[in-house]
């Protein structure tokens, strides 16, 4: 049989289609591998810069020596006690916010469904500010209060958005309203507090890594060690859910249960990151859309979103500490807000309202 006849036969068309599908899958794998490699390389480069740059510059050899226990006490103190905890906290916060944003935007099918848009971060901020200004608390107690505030907002939003089922637009609109309420609570608490207390609260609310220390890093790392495997476990079900509730139900899935589990994981990730570093603005909002644009294959892009979050937070902190003019040092959330604000304007001006 000639090649032309083979292509025109049913078997030939099937073989051509199968070959095209295999080629498309290979291209997707190649692109995904390339994107992951670039993001990992960028994250490592920024991390290396964060360890060597500062008021006391170090060479890469000095950094490596300090990490493996070299005898230079000053270099070891700077790297192990000051720069490494801050870097690791930035990495963990980036992973948490990146995954949280990807989960919310996917399950709610709305690019505006980010923790810092729909009130989760504001609820955590209200809880933390109340602990700081009303209770005079600090440290772990503030983190727990932030976790509690964000979790309560998440439960409230789910209850308000539920009308025989939960839809994304009700959740987002309810969240925007709750965000304003939480902002009003924070504003009232700030006006009733002493100036010194208000300064501490405002610095935390800007999103800062200045409080980084090994105990805080260990707590956030432990939280992510629990939450990230659960995200991986629910990712396949979320993929099926995005086919639509009817199709997902036909495949044996319980859509509302999966949706509730995904939202709970997103709330937990956002609250854990906010409790550790404050509401670092726009990382969760920007990470997933950037990752999905890099892949351009319609996937959830969870790993890529986490890496984009790492690059954003580590890069923004590097800029906030060392690269602003006039030796100016600002909280990392100020820089991420300066990045995310224009992105939100662009998103609205181009009319992009659909999310994977």
pLDDT of amino acid 228: 95
pLDDT of amino acid 6: 46
The Cα–Cα gap between 117 and 328 comes to 28
φ/ψ (deg, to 5) at 225: -65, -30
pLDDT of amino acid 47: 94
pLDDT of amino acid 5: 52
φ/ψ (deg, to 5) at 340: -75, -30
The Cα–Cα gap between 109 and 243 comes to 11
- Distances in Å between the Cα of 43 and the Cα atoms of 35, 48, 50, 151, 311 are 12, 9, 10, 30, 5
The per-residue pLDDT string of the chain (356 residues; one tens digit each, 9 = 90 and over) reads: 455 554 455 655 666 666 666 766 778 888 889 999 999 999 999 999 999 988 888 888 888 888 887 767 888 888 989 999 999 999 999 999 999 999 999 998 888 888 989 999 999 989 988 988 888 777 778 888 888 999 999 999 888 888 767 777 888 888 999 999 999 999 999 888 888 888 878 877 888 898 889 999 999 999 999 999 999 999 988 888 887 777 877 777 888 888 889 999 999 999 999 988 988 988 999 999 999 888 887 788 899 999 999 999 999 999 988 877 766 778 899 899 888 778 777 766 765 544 44
What's the pLDDT tens digit per position in 7-58?
A: 455 655 666 666 666 766 778 888 889 999 999 999 999 999 999 988 888 8
Q: Give long-range contacts, CB 8 A cutoff, 24+ apart: 78-84.
A: 78/54, 79/51, 83/50, 83/51, 83/54, 84/51
What's the pLDDT tens digit per position in 103-144?
A: 999 998 888 888 989 999 999 989 988 988 888 777 778 888
Mean residue pLDDT of the chain comes to 85
The answer to whether 135 touches 318, Cβ cutoff 8 Å, is no
Residue 137 tokens read as 């608390």
Give the residue among 281, 308, 270, 316 at the shortest CA–CA distance from 292. 308
3-state secondary structure the chain: CCHHHHHHCHHHHHHHHHHHHHHHHHHHHHHHHHHHHHHHHHHHHHHHHHHHCCCCCCCHHHHHHHHCCCCCHHHHHHHHHHHHHHHHHHHHHHHHHHHHHHHHHHHCCCCCCCCCCCCHHHHHHHHHHHHHHCCCCCCHHHHHHHHHHHHHHHHHHHHHHECCCECHHHHHHHHHHHHHHHHHHHHHHHHCCCHHHHHHHHHHHHCCCCCCCHHHHHHHHHHHHHHHHHHHHHHHHHHHHCCCHHHHHHCCCCHHHHHHHHHHHHHHHHHHHHHHHCCCCCHHHHHHHHHHHHHCCCCCCHHHHHHHHHHHHHHHHHHHHHHCHHHCCCCHHHHHHHHHHHHHHHHHHHCCCCCC
Residue 32 tokens read as 């995904």
pLDDT of amino acid 9: 58
The answer to whether 333 touches 284, Cβ cutoff 8 Å, is no
Alpha-carbon torsion 120, 125, 131, 137, what sign?
A: positive
- Distances in Å between the Cα of 331 and the Cα atoms of 6, 120, 259, 300, 335 are 66, 20, 34, 30, 7
pLDDT of amino acid 54: 83
The Cα–Cα gap between 221 and 223 comes to 5
Alpha-carbon torsion 228, 232, 233, 235, what sign?
A: positive
The answer to whether 267 touches 127, Cβ cutoff 8 Å, is no
pLDDT of amino acid 21: 65
């Amino acid at each position: 049989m000639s090649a032309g006849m083979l292509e025109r036969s049913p078997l030939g068309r099937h073989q051509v289609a199968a070959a095209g599908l295999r080629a498309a899958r290979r291209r997707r794998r190649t692109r995904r591998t390339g994107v992951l490699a670039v993001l990992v390389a960028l994250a490592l480069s920024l991390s290396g810069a964060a360890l060597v740059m500062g008021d006391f510059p170090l060479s890469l050899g000095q950094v490596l020596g300090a990490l493996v226990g070299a005898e230079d006490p000053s270099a070891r103190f700077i790297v192990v006690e000051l720069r490494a905890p801050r870097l690791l906290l930035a990495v963990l916060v980036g992973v948490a916010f990146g995954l949280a944003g990807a989960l919310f935007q996917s399950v709610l099918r709305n690019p505006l469904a980010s923790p810092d848009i729909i009130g989760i971060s504001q609820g955590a901020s209200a809880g933390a500010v109340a602990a700081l200004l009303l209770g005079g608390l600090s440290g772990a107690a503030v983190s727990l209060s932030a976790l509690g505030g964000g979790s309560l907002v998440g439960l409230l939003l789910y209850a308000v958005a539920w009308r025989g089922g939960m839809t994304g637009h009700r959740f987002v609109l309810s969240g925007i309203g709750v965000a304003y309420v939480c902002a009003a609570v924070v504003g009232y608490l700030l006006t009733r507090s002493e100036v010194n207390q208000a300064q501490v609260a405002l610095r935390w609310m800007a999103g800062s890594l200045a409080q980084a220390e090994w105990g805080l890093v260990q707590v956030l790392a432990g939280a992510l060690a629990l939450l990230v495997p659960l995200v991986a476990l629910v990712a396949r079900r979320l993929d099926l859910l995005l086919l639509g509730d009817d199709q997902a139900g036909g495949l044996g899935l319980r859509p509302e249960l999966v949706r509730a589990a995904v939202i709970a994981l997103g709330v937990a990730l956002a609250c854990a990151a906010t409790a550790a570093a404050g509401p670092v603005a726009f990382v969760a909002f920007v990470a997933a859309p950037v990752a999905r644009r890099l892949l351009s294959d319609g996937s959830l892009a969870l790993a890529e979103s986490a890496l984009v979050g790492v690059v954003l937070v580590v890069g923004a902190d590097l800029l906030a500490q060392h690269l602003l003019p006039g030796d100016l040092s600002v909280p990392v959330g100020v820089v991420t807000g300066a990045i995310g604000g224009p992105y939100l304007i662009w998103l609205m001006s181009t009319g992009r309202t659909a999310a994977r």
